[in-house]
Every structure is written in C-alpha cells, then in structure tokens.
C-alpha cells in the first residue's frame, strides 16, 4: 500500500499559506488540504502527516436512523454546513434500520449537498447497535464518529473529540457527566431515574471508570472502530456498553470528553419496555467478555451469529 508522506515545517507552512492567500486562489488541491490539516491540528516542525491514497477520507460520520423523518433533515443540514467549513474530506453514512416512513427519502435529498453521503436502506429492523456496527465497519475515515440522528450533541463538538484522538487516544466519547459538560435541555425525571439506575448497574458489572457510557456521540480511530465493532454482539440500545467493554479489554485508550447536550422529546427509547432488555444485555455483556482474551466469537461473524 503506497503512502504519501508530506513534511511541513511550521514556519515554511505559514509563509506558504500567506503567499497563497495573497494570490488569486486556484482550485483546491491535496497539498492545500494537507496544509490546512496541519494548521487545524497543530503539527509541529518536522512532524509527518501521512495520507493513504486508498483511504483519503479524514472523518466518517455514522448515523443510525429508525423512522427519523422528523429529525434527520435538520441534523443532515447541520452536518452539511459543518462539512462545508472543513478543509478535510468527510463522508456521512446513514443506516436506515427498517424505517417505514420517509427517512430514506430525506437522506437521499442530501445527495447533492453532501458529496460523501452513503445510504444503507435495510428493510428489516435489527436494532440501533446492529446499525451502528454496520456503518462503523463500512467507514473509510481515519476517524469515525457515530452520532444520534437527532444531534442531541451538536456536530461541532466533534472538534473536541478529535483533539484527544490527535493527542494519542484511540477513542473519545462525549460525556454529559464530567466537569465542563453542558446540559442545555434536561431529561424528564423518569428518564433521569432510568439513566441513573442503569449507570449504577453498568458501573457495578462492566465499566467502573466511565461516567457516561451511553451518550450517543463517540469517535474512534479507524483501527479501533474496526476491531471493536467487528466483535459486537449486542444489537439493541446497550450496544455502546459492549463496545466500550471490548475496547477496554483490547487495551484501547479512552477519553471521556465534556460536551454540550440537549434532550430530544422524540427519543426512541421506551422508558418502560427497553430497560429490562438493556439489563438482560448487560448481563450477557458481563458473561461474554470476561472471556474475550481467551477466545471470543470470530469478529466477522459475531453479530450475524447473534441474529440467526
């Protein structure tokens, strides 16, 4: 596999950019994009930024969607506006999980606006975890974000996560419960009670160090995304508990990052029906991954075997 190393000493980079800005601007080239990346992510003198010719996408955004015709349009509008302001190439993968409304039609209406848009129109509902895993496995970006379809956390918050990944972390997750996080619209009391109870169980049985394992805004390096999500077996709402448990077992470095978040009243989580299923999944996660290092299910077949 051929790679193209490009060295940009800081002073030379600044002078080149300044000269380019003073000139009549030519069409944007790969070199200009690399220079912009260096400025955005603070490459020091002598550092090397490597672009893989077969994997030029910098950021992939995966959006699971089930009957999201009301919320998906505004979210894709925000993501399109964000992408248009970035110097690096992006792709957006919308995974429709057996939607029966206009979710797919709305996603396709952005094909002219988002050049890297991919739409997976699955006819059978398999669950949020299944959809996220499918999108994460297909993503080509150096960094892969999955976000809820309602963008409860604004897409601009991904810049915070990328800073941690750029500093050496393998996974950066948005958190509502660490210092400097901001909850703009709180959940109703019933959902807060459900969330606190479930987080307590998660801390007892799986993830002791992570304060908010279920905020739907998580970014992975491409390697970590492939290794974690090819091992996923939980297809429901507890999938991110399993994903982080697998990541810890594999030794990946995880950063919990404060983000801005707002509750959406159209959340698809059922306060009464889903908690028992999530608790059952939590027990299965505990049982399955205590033996991960001694022979888990084959990565490529984990979710498929779980749904036969």
Task: Provide CB contacts within 8 A for 74, sequence distance 6+.
Answer: 151
- Burial zone of 23 (CB within 10 Å; 0-12 exposed, 13-18 middle, 19+ buried): exposed
Give residue limits of the domains in the chain. 3-52, 59-306
| Predicted local distance difference test score (pLDDT) of residue 271 | 66
| Predicted local distance difference test score (pLDDT) of residue 56 | 86
What is the reported pTM?
0.77
Q: Are 246 and 292 in contact (CB under 8 A)?
A: yes
User: Whole-angstrom Cα distance, residue 176 to residue 275?
Assistant: 20
| Predicted local distance difference test score (pLDDT) of residue 293 | 53
For 59-306, CATH gives 3.90.550.10
User: Whole-angstrom Cα distance, residue 221 to residue 162?
Assistant: 9
Query: Residue-wise pLDDT tens for the chain (308 aa)?
Result: 443 343 334 445 445 545 544 454 444 333 444 334 344 444 443 333 344 444 489 999 999 999 999 999 999 999 999 999 999 999 999 999 999 999 999 999 999 999 899 999 999 999 999 999 999 999 999 999 999 999 999 999 999 999 999 999 999 999 999 999 999 999 898 888 888 898 899 998 889 899 999 999 999 999 999 999 999 999 998 999 999 999 999 999 999 999 999 998 877 776 667 788 998 999 999 888 876 553 343 333 345 444 44
Alpha-carbon separation of residue 48 from 15, 60, 169, 229, 293 (angstroms): 18, 22, 18, 29, 34
Q: What is the pLDDT of residues 136-192, one digit of tens each?
A: 999 999 999 999 999 999 999 999 999 999 999 999 999 999 999 999 999 898 888
Q: How far is CA 304 from the centre of its chain?
A: 22
């Amino acid at each position: 596999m051929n790679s193209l190393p490009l060295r940009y000493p800081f002073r030379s980079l600044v002078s080149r950019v300044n000269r380019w800005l003073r000139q009549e601007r030519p069409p944007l080239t790969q070199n200009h994009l690399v220079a912009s990346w260096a400025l955005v992510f603070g490459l020091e003198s002598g550092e090397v930024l490597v672009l893989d010719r077969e994997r030029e996408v910098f950021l992939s955004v995966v959006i699971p969607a089930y009957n999201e015709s009301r919320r998906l349009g505004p979210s894709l509008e925000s993501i399109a506006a964000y992408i248009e302001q970035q110097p690096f190439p992006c792709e957006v993968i919308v995974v429709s999980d057996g939607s029966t409304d206009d979710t797919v039609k709305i996603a396709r209406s952005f094909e002219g606006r988002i050049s890297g848009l991919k739409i997976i129109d699955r006819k059978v509902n398999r669950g949020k975890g299944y959809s996220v895993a499918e999108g994460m496995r297909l993503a080509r970006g150096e960094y892969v974000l999955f976000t809820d379809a309602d963008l409860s956390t604004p897409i601009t918050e991904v810049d915070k996560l990328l800073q941690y990944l750029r500093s050496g972390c393998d996974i950066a997750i948005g958190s509502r419960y660490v210092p400097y996080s901001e909850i703009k619209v709180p959940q109703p009391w019933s959902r807060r009670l459900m969330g606190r109870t479930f987080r307590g169980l998660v801390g007892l049985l799986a993830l002791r160090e992570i304060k908010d394992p279920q905020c739907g805004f998580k970014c992975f390096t491409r390697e970590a995304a492939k290794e974690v999500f090819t091992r996923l077996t939980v297809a429901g709402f507890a999938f991110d508990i399993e994903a982080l448990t697998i990541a810890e077992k594999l030794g990946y470095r995880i950063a919990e990052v404060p983000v801005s978040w707002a509750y959406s009243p159209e959340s698809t989580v059922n306060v009464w029906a889903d908690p028992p299923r999530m608790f059952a999944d939590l027990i299965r996660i505990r049982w399955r991954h205590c033996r991960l290092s001694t022979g888990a299910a084959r990565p490529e077949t984990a979710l498929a075997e779980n749904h036969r």
